Amino acid sequence: MAVFAVIAERRIVEAMDRGEFDNLEGAGQKLVFEDDSMVPEDLRMAYKIMKNAGYLPPEILEEKEILSAADLLANAPDEHERYQRMRKLQCVVMRVNQRRNRPLHLEKDAKYYEKVVSRVKIHGVQSAHE
């Protein structure tokens, strides 16, 4: 296997010397890494392939739905609407817990929890993030 790595490395260096990598689309732009922390590690590659094919796995759809519900909650115009949207968020989290057969602890998933909390604002209370 090491022989293939040496050959591949040599061909890459030769192509670089010929300038074949110059002016590539996206050159110099920041790489965007996706947060797949909600996807079990052993399924990440398979889910990446499915995503590239246009299919989103349930974990990613659920994460988007939770963040969307948190956004709606953060932008609620009054207390009644905020209560309704909080119930929607609770239902989504409960459904995720049932499907996963283990509770979704937003507090333990620090990055994910921070995303949700940063989107929710309670009127009259200043957030630590502001």
Would you state the pLDDT for residue 24?
86
Residue-range definition of the domain harbouring residue 114: 57-119
Task: Evaluate whether residue 17 is within a structural domain.
Answer: no
Is the whole-model pTM more than 0.75? no
The pLDDT score that the predictor gives to residue 126 is 47
pLDDT for the residue 75: 82
| Total tally of structural domains belonging to the chain | 1
The answer to whether 48 and 35 are in contact (CB under 8 A) is: no
Which pLDDT belongs to residue 101? 65
Q: Is residue 72 part of a domain?
A: yes
Long-range contacts at 63-71 (CB < 8 A, ≥ 24 apart)? 63/38, 63/112, 65/92, 66/92, 66/93, 66/96, 66/116, 67/115, 67/116, 67/119, 70/115, 70/116, 70/119, 70/120, 71/119
Residue-level pLDDT at 124: 52
Tokens 């209560």 map to which residue? 83
Residue 65 lies in a domain: yes
The parts of the chain modelled with pLDDT lower than 50 are: 108, 125-130
